[in-house]
Amino acid sequence: MIIETLQAVMIKNSIITAFVFVAVVMWVSYWLSDKLTRGHVHGSAIAIALGLLIAYVGGAFTGGSKGIADIPVLTGVGILGGAMFRDFAIVATAFGADLDSIYKAGWVGAMSVILGVVISFIVGVVVAVLFGYKDAVSISTIGAGAATYIVGPVTGTALGAQSDVIALSVAAGLVKSVLVMIGTPFVAKSVGLDNPLSAMIYGGLMGTTSGVAGGLAATDPKLVPYGAMTATFYTGVGCLLAPSLLFMVVRFFTG
């Protein structure tokens, strides 16, 4: 009776439950950061890694696609971590950001978005060809998936790709976003990711909004507005270029 009532309360107040969930994950992570790494690995980096681990356990347990949020008592985590709240919080980080650095790096940011889409697309295309794909539609869809897990299916649908190829393109995008979340704090120093200019370039090259949001949160939250600013244009540019210009280039080479 106690368990059923508790479950019912948690489900009924799903977002409130999510607040408790996140607070506990953060508390554990900052404690681990302090005790195990003496603050060398940032608490938020541990929290994001822990979140991904929890998502894996949730996904393996339920067989669903929304990580831990597929467990009924934790559906609120799915809402709190969904696009609506994520974008709301990202916009809020812009408050107090330096307009001057964004203005100065504006065209650099724009260039890095276009180059970022093209570079990831090329990597995806090369891998698809190495794995034996020969038709322009499949190759382009996988290339688009290497951009983000939204560009992949949008491109695949537009070009009429088979559903297994579309699923592959989503998977490639997911790998990218998870890797960016975990990897960014570790490589930040060696690639000079410590100022607004390089953060804008980073956001433009990586493009995955969730990856960039998580990666910068774990590295230096002050850089979030600059990276997120360019990253939010990436998916749109990708959906524009991949099924049109980039597909035509691929078709030219595949004949």
Partner 1 sequence: MIVYGVGILAFCMLTGMFVGDLLGQIIGVKANVGGVGIAMLMLIVLSSLSSKKVQLGQLTQHGITFWSAMYIPIVIAMASRQNVVAAVSSGWLAVIAGVGAVALSFALIPVFTKLAQRSQQNQSEATEP
In the window 54-83, what residues touch partner 1 (CB under 8 A)?
A: 54-56, 58-60, 65-69, 77-78, 80-82
Nearer of residues 73 and 179 to partner 1, judged by Cβ: 179
Nearer of residues 212 and 249 to partner 1, judged by Cβ: 212
Nearer of residues 2 and 169 to partner 1, judged by Cβ: 169
In the window 175-194, what residues touch partner 1 (CB under 8 A)?
A: 175-181, 183, 187, 191-193
Distances (CA, A) of 169 to 28, 135, 174, 243, 248: 34, 15, 9, 13, 18
Q: State the nearest-atom distance from the C-beta of 2 to partner 1, in Å.
A: 26
Concatenating the DSSP letter of every residue in 67-95 gives: GGGGSGGGHHHHHHTSHHHHHHHHHHHTT
Residue from 159, 172, 246, 250 in contact with partner 1 (CB under 8 A): 172
Residue from 11, 32, 89, 114 in contact with partner 1 (CB under 8 A): 89
In the window 122-141, what residues touch partner 1 (CB under 8 A)?
A: 123-124, 126-128, 131
- If you ran DSSP here, which 8-state letter would residue 191 be given? T
Q: State the nearest-atom distance from the C-beta of 134 to partner 1, in Å.
A: 14
Residue 41 sits in the site that holds partner 1 (CB under 8 A):
no
Distances (CA, A) of 245 to 32, 249, 255: 48, 6, 15
Burial code of 150-170, b = ≥16 C-beta within 10 A, e = fewer?
bbbbbbbebbebeeebbebbb
List the structure tokens of 202. 């980073």
Residue from 33, 159, 166, 214 in contact with partner 1 (CB under 8 A): 214
Question: Total residues contacting partner 1 (rule CB under 8 A)?
Answer: 112
Residue from 139, 170, 249, 250 in contact with partner 1 (CB under 8 A): 170
How far apart, in whole angstroms, are the C-alpha atoms of residue 18 and residue 11?
Answer: 10
Q: State the nearest-atom distance from the C-beta of 82 to partner 1, in Å.
A: 7
Residue from 136, 225, 247, 249 in contact with partner 1 (CB under 8 A): 225
Contact 121, 100 (CB under 8 A): no
Q: State the nearest-atom distance from the C-beta of 64 to partner 1, in Å.
A: 8
Q: State the nearest-atom distance from the C-beta of 22 to partner 1, in Å.
A: 4
How far apart, in whole angstroms, are the C-alpha atoms of residue 224 and residue 227?
Answer: 5
Element (H, E) at 157: helix 151-159
List the structure tokens of 215. 């990666």
